[in-house]
Structure 1
Amino acid sequence: MKTSVMNRTITSALLMLSMAAPLAISTNARSAALSVSSVIHETIASPDFGCGSFVGGTITGTGISSLLGQVSISAKDCITPFPDGHFSFAGKMTFGTASGSIFADYEGLFTPTILPSIFLFADTSFTITGGTGSFQNAKGSGTFIGGENIDSGNGLLLIAGNISNYAKLKSSGLLLNSLTTALVGSFDAAAIAALDPTPLSPGTTLGQYLATDQNAEVLADTPVPEPMSLALLGIGLASFAVARRRRSFIQPLI
């Protein structure tokens, strides 16, 4: 009798464990390598009063990931120019997926190459700070490579790192479009230079901004008048000052 009761108890416990196991698997946090290959486009806003340099960038893009499926990319950063021709940047990026959004902080350098208008990312890093949906408590970090044609604003971006503490992902498949299917295995300067030069979206590119800024500098550097002209101008101003002083000493008639 006792043996029969014990057997039933063990059977019930095993049944409950077997029912709970799938639930535990579906809710446990996961960890995996993360990579995203994407085509991007950047526009520039200046003055951007949210940036200490007053130069801000807005990035949009679309990509593919073996872990996430199709990914949309949006980012905003602040860009700081340096006298030697390179730039630093820091900002926040969002990866949109079928399972939710991933939020990340990122930074790096933007360096010129021997190819005209082609800049590459260097000394980069990103840190995942959370997200929505399956990524509400996500963490992770990594680096990225690629770059842009600053005249067209078009570029390539390859994210490589890790992600943890995320929930089960929805199956999205790789719904490739004309942009993501154009991705190649290389993200170097030559691959970026080979991109279609037509801007992917409207707006001022970094190359256009720099050209405008240089034109402003040209205007600011307009040659000053010759010494003789300055002398004549000085005489005229002095005469005007003397006339004003004489007028101030004239008393009104009563």
Structure 2
Amino acid sequence: MTLYTYNDSVTVSVKNQIATVCLDRPDRRNAWDDSLGAGLERAFTAVSVDDEVRCVVLTGAGSAFCSGADLATGFPTLPSGHDDLTGTLRRRFHPGFLALLDTPKPVIAAINGPAIGAGACLALAADIAIADRDAAFLQFRFSAIGLIPDVGATALLTSIVGPAKAVEIFLLAERIDAARAAELNLVSRVSDDLAGDTAELAGRLAEGPTAAYGTTKQAVRAWSRAQLANQLELEASLQQRLIATADWREGRAAFLERRPPAFVGR
């Protein structure tokens, strides 16, 4: 086995032509900060051009897959005094997300625990997502902190479930357990043996026609890939509008203080 550490937050191991990209911030439930974003970009860029790699597995260390944005780390501020969410999305989130999405090798998301917010977007961006029946759930909880969905969520989720159901999921921000996620086609499979089922599927894909897999992915996504870049920018610009609201300040404070938010609607 070959082990690469891209930084303190992401590791990659390669064995039998399968690269396992592991989000490695278990003490923070693999929350997405600058380090994790940079590690994701470097890892997926590297495995994309590594001839030894013919399949990629993305998973999380510890009990979570990815708990979303690390709100505790904060954001840079603009001269106005408001958080710079647009710049943060462009720098911290978009490069790693797009590197995953554009990887020409088959990508399996092994969802070993909660996949929340941006973490749920990683699961949707994978080619095949396998969820642990007991531990995994998806949650798009952007509205719970007074923000809109980002990191491609408005495009990916809507393309899977349709506009009406996507709006419902986004507004209610409820947990979607593994079984329900499979019913909604948010995950491909639900597993009682995540490690074993992931290894079996990854081995099968690693023995397949890698170039054909890559061009299949390219063709399937060609109709939407160009629009996705515009959607990411739209999400980022709309997100910046919300950063000046009282509801965002309350949502973030409530999250950090582990209490229900008291939104005022403005």
Instruction: Tell me the TM-score range normalised by the shorter chain.
Output: under 0.3
Q: Between Structure 1 and Structure 2, which shows a larger proportion of strand residues?
A: 1
TM-score by length of 1: 0.23
